[in-house]
């Protein structure tokens, strides 16, 4: 499903350990690392899509997490020109996402990356809350910055200010992010 502006509705998942570190996963057969994310089916709410994507990409169930917060409305990013499939009937120029912050309540053994026929990830680890901003592919950095800036107060309420310090976004004040 692609909206009239060419954006595919999607959810992003920031899975956080109680100590403020977040789940960071490597894409199968690629060197890229990212947060779990995926499309919203036409018959799903963003929350339903988030739980489905969580199960498909990490093996985790609703009992393994608590929802701590979500971005209000859509955060958008554009795909780089080489990634746009112009031959498709509906051309997708990017993603529009609702991001969720989840508190991990399970055991590390509950994470199962190979629970589907086509796993998305082949390795994962816990990283500092702001680490992904410098390590995700360039075209996703601004959406990651906006999502993390919005979710940081929720994370800080659980893990504390030392684990989730303020972060100054380029061109903006500390902890401020532009919403679209």
Sorted by sequence, the CB contacts under 8 Å of residue 65 that are 6+ apart come out as 15, 54, 102, 103, 104, 105, 106
Question: What is the model's pLDDT at position 85?
Answer: 78
The answer to whether residue 31 scores a pLDDT higher than 90 is no
Say how many C-beta atoms besides its own lie within 10 A of residue 29's C-beta. 6
The structure tokens listed for 65 are 């997490």
Q: What is the percent of the chain with per-residue pLDDT over 90, rounded to a whole number?
A: 78
Q: What is the mean pLDDT of residues 12-24?
A: 98
Q: What is the pLDDT of residues 122-163, one digit of tens each?
A: 999 999 999 999 999 999 999 999 999 999 999 999 999 999
Question: Tokens 């991990």 belong to which residue?
Answer: 104
Question: What is the model's pLDDT at position 170?
Answer: 59
Asked if 103 and 16 touch (Cβ cutoff 8 Å), the reply is yes
DSSP per-residue string spanning 41-74: PTT--HHHHHHHHHHHHH---GGGEEEEEE-SS-
pTM for the full model? 0.90
| Alpha helix ranges (H) inside 35-161 | 46-58, 132-135, 141-159
């Amino acid at each position: 499903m692609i909206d009239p502006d060419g954006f595919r509705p999607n959810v992003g998942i920031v899975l956080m350990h109680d100590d403020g570190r977040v789940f960071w996963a490597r894409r199968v057969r690629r060197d890229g690392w990212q947060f779990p994310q995926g499309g919203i089916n036409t018959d799903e709410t963003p929350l339903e899509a988030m739980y489905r994507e969580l199960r498909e990409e990490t093996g985790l169930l609703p009992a393994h997490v608590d929802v701590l917060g979500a971005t209000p409305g859509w955060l958008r990013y554009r795909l780089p020109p080489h990634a746009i499939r112009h031959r498709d009937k509906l051309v997708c120029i990017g993603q529009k996402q609702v991001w969720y912050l989840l508190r991990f309540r399970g055991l590390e053994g509950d994470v199962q990356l190979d629970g589907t026929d086509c796993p998305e990830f082949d390795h994962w680890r816990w990283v500092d809350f702001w680490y992904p901003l410098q390590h995700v592919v360039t075209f996703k950095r601004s959406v990651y910055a906006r999502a993390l800036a919005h979710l940081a107060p929720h994370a800080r309420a659980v893990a504390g200010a030392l684990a989730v310090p303020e972060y100054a976004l380029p061109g903006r004040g500390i902890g401020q992010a532009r919403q679209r």
